[in-house]
Amino acid sequence: MSEELFRDFWWLMFPVFGMVMAILGMARDSARDDAILRQARDRLERK
Q: Using one digit for the tens of pLDDT, what is the confidence trace for 1-47?
A: 888 988 999 999 999 999 999 999 999 999 999 999 999 999 999 87
Tell me the pTM. Answer: 0.66
**What pLDDT score was predicted for residue 44?**
94
Domain ranges of the chain: 12-46
**What pLDDT score was predicted for residue 5?**
87
**What pLDDT score was predicted for residue 25?**
95
**What pLDDT score was predicted for residue 2?**
86
CA atoms of 15 and 32, how far apart (whole Å): 25
